[in-house]
C-alpha cells in the first residue's frame, strides 16, 4: 500500500521549502521590529468560536470547516483562520486589563475544505499580526505598512494594495438595507436571492458575469459612511500616503469573513491567476463582544505564505539558492572520515553551514555530492593531508585549491563568509 498527501495539501520539499522559511521570516520581521509579540494558539478550537466569530453565514463556516467530535463528545474545529483564536486567547488571559494596544503576531497552519486549485489549498500557511484594544487609524496604517514592507523585503514588486471601509454598527445597517433594496430588484437565482437576505455584501463579490453585469449601479459603502467612519478612513489614507504606500480605493472590496468593520484591505499579486490575494485583513471592532468579551476594537492581517512563494516564483525571484552551504567535507578513506568529523562539528559550532559525504562512497561520488550540495567549497582530506596537518580547500566554482592548516580552517572559511 502506498500513500499520497491528501487532496488539496502538498509537501514543502528542499530546496523549495527554504523559501517557505524565508517568506515566513521576512513577512513577520517588520511586525517583530514594531513591537508585536509572538503568540501560538492550538490548531483546533471549540467549533462555536469560529461559527460565532467568523460568521455563521460565511462560506468558511457553512462549507469549509474541518469539524469533528472529540472522544469526549465536544465539537472541535481545525482553525480556518487565526484572528478568532487570538481574540479568544487575549480574553482568556485577561490581557485587555493591561496596556493597550496588545500587539501580537503568529505563524502557522490553517485548514479550509476548499475546492482545491492552484494557489488554493485545504492546508495552508499564514503569517498574521493583530493589534487589539485600540481605535486608532495609525494602527490600521501601521499594519498595512508593515505588510507592504514585508513583501518589499522579499524583492516583490507586483503587490497591489486595495483599500476600503465597511463602516460601523451605526452606518452599516442603513447601507445593508440600501444594498438589499437594490439587489432584490435584480434577476438572481434562488441561492443568490437567499444570500441577499443573509449576507448581501457577499453578493457584491459574485464572480459570475451575468451577476456582475447587473451590479454596475449597486450602492457603494463609501457613499453611506457616517461622519466618524469617513474621518477615520481619511486619516488612514493620509497616513499611508505619508508613509509612501500606494493604495487603490476599492469600494467593492468584500472580505470572506463577517467580523470586519471600517478599514478592510487586501494585497493582490497579478501573477497568480484566480487566487490573486497574497494577504488581507482589516478592523474588527465587534469581534471580542461577539465571542463574549468586552469591547476591544482591533485590527490585523494575515498573509499567505504559500501564495507569497508563488508570487516570488512568478517574478522570477526563486533563482538564487537560499541558505546555500558554505562547505562540503570529503574524507578520502576511513581515517580521514574520523578526522574530518570533529572538524565539521567545529565549523558548524562556529556558525558555518557545512555538510559532509556519508555512506563511504568513493572519491568520485563524494565530489559529485559536494557539487550537488551547492556549497562554495569542498574540504578534501586525504592521508597526505592528515600527515601535513592540513585540509585541501577547493573552490567549487573556479576549481582553485589551497592547502589550509587544520587549525586555521575556521578562520579561513569565516573570512570568505562575507
Ligand atoms: P483571509 O483573507 O481569509 O483572512 O486569508 C488571508 C490570506 O491567507 C489570503 O489572502 C491568502 O493569501 C491566504 N489563504 C487563505 N485561504 C487560503 C487557501 N485556501 N490556500 C492558500 N492560501 C490561502 C484571514 O484569514 C483573516 N484572519 C485575516 C485577518 C487578520 N483579519 C484581521 N486580522
For the cut 80, the answer to whether the pLDDT of residue 320 exceeds it is no
User: For residue 62, what pLDDT is reported?
Assistant: 84
Average pLDDT over residues 262-289: 96
Judge whether residue 206 has pLDDT over 90: no
Q: Average pLDDT for residues 184-208, to the nearest whole number? A: 90
The CB of 281 under 6 Å from ligand 1? The reply is yes
Please report which confidence band the pLDDT of residue 243 belongs to, taking 50, 70 and 90 as the band edges.
Answer: very high
- Residue 418 reports pLDDT greater than 60: no
**Helix runs in 243-333, H state only:** 287-290, 305-314
CB under 8 A, 24+ apart: contacts of 36-39: 36/103, 36/104, 36/105, 36/129, 36/131, 37/103, 37/104, 37/105, 38/104, 38/105, 38/106, 39/86, 39/89, 39/104, 39/105, 39/106
Share of the chain above pLDDT 90, in %: 87
CB 302 within 8 A of CB 260: no
Assess whether the C-beta atom of 256 lies below 6 angstroms from ligand 1: yes
- In the chain, the domains with their CATH numbers are 16-171+225-314 (3.30.930.10), 327-417 (3.40.50.800)
Burial group, residue 215, by CB count within 10 angstroms (0-12, 13-18, 19+): middle
For ligand 1, whether the C-beta of 82 sits within 6 Å is: yes
The pTM for the full model equals 0.93
- Average pLDDT rounded to a whole number, residues 81-88: 98
Longest dimension (CA), the chain: 92
CA 254 and chain centroid, separation: 20
Return the closest-CA partner of residue 300 out of 309, 288, 289, 290: 288
Give the distance (Å) from ligand 1 centre to CA of residue 280: 6
Cβ of 55 closer than 6 Å to ligand 1, yes or no, is no
Amino acid at each position: 500500500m502506498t500513500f499520497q498527501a491528501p487532496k488539496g495539501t502538498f509537501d514543502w520539499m528542499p530546496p523549495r521549502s527554504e523559501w517557505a522559511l524565508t517568506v515566513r521570516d521576512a513577512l513577520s520581521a517588520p511586525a517583530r521590529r514594531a513591537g508585536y509579540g509572538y503568540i501560538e494558539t492550538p490548531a483546533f478550537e471549540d467549533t462555536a468560536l469560529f461559527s460565532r466569530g467568523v460568521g455563521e453565514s460565511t462560506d468558511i463556516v457553512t462549507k469549509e470547516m474541518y469539524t469533528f467530535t472529540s472522544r469526549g463528545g465536544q465539537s472541535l474545529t481545525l482553525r480556518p483562520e487565526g484572528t478568532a483564536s487570538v481574540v479568544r486567547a487575549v480574553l482568556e488571559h485577561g490581557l485587555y486589563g493591561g496596556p493597550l494596544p496588545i500587539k501580537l503576531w503568529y505563524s502557522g497552519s490553517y485548514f479550509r475544505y476548499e475546492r482545491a486549485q492552484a494557489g488554493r489549498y485545504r492546508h495552508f500557511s499564514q503569517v498574521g499580526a493583530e493589534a487589539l484594544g485600540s481605535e486608532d487609524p495609525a494602527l490600521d496604517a501601521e499594519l498595512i505598512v508593515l505588510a507592504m514592507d514585508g513583501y518589499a523585503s522579499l524583492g516583490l514588486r507586483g503587490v497591489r494594495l486595495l483599500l476600503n471601509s465597511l463602516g460601523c454598527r451605526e452606518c452599516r445597517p442603513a447601507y445593508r438595507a440600501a444594498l438589499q433594496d437594490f439587489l432584490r430588484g435584480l434577476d438572481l437565482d434562488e441561492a443568490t436571492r437567499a444570500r441577499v437576505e443573509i449576507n448581501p455584501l457577499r453578493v457584491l463579490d459574485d464572480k459570475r458575469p451575468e451577476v456582475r453585469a447587473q451590479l454596475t449601479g449597486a450602492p457603494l459603502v463609501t457613499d453611506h459612511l457616517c461622519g466618524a467612519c469617513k474621518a477615520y478612513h481619511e486619516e488612514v489614507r493620509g497616513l499611508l500616503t505619508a508613509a509612501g504606500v500606494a493604495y487603490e480605493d476599492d469600494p467593492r472590496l468584500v472580505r470572506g469573513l463577517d467580523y470586519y468593520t471600517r478599514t478592510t484591505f487586501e494585497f493582490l499579486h497579478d501573477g497568480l491567476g484566480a487566487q490573486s490575494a497574497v494577504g488581507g485583513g482589516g478592523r474588527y471592532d465587534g469581534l471580542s463582544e461577539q465571542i463574549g468579551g468586552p469591547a476591544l476594537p482591533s485590527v490585523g492581517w494575515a498573509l499567505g505564505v504559500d501564495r507569497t512563494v508563488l508570487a516570488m516564483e512568478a517574478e522570477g525571484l526563486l533563482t538564487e539558492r537560499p541558505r546555500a552551504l558554505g562547505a562540503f567535507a570529503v574524507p578520502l578513506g576511513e581515517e580521514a572520515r574520523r578526522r574530518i568529523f570533529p572538524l565539521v562539528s567545529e565549523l558548524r559550532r562556529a556558525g558555518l553551514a557545512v555538510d559532509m559525504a556519508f555512506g563511504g562512497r568513493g572519491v568520485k561520488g563524494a565530489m559529485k555530492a559536494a557539487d550537488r550540495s551547492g556549497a562554495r567549497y569542498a574540504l578534501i582530506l586525504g592521508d597526505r593531508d592528515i600527515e601535513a596537518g592540513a585540509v585541501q580547500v577547493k573552490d567549487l566554482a573556479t576549481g582553485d585549491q589551497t592547502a589550509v592548516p587544520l587549525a586555521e580552517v575556521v578562520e579561513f572559511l569565516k573570512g570568505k563568509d562575507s
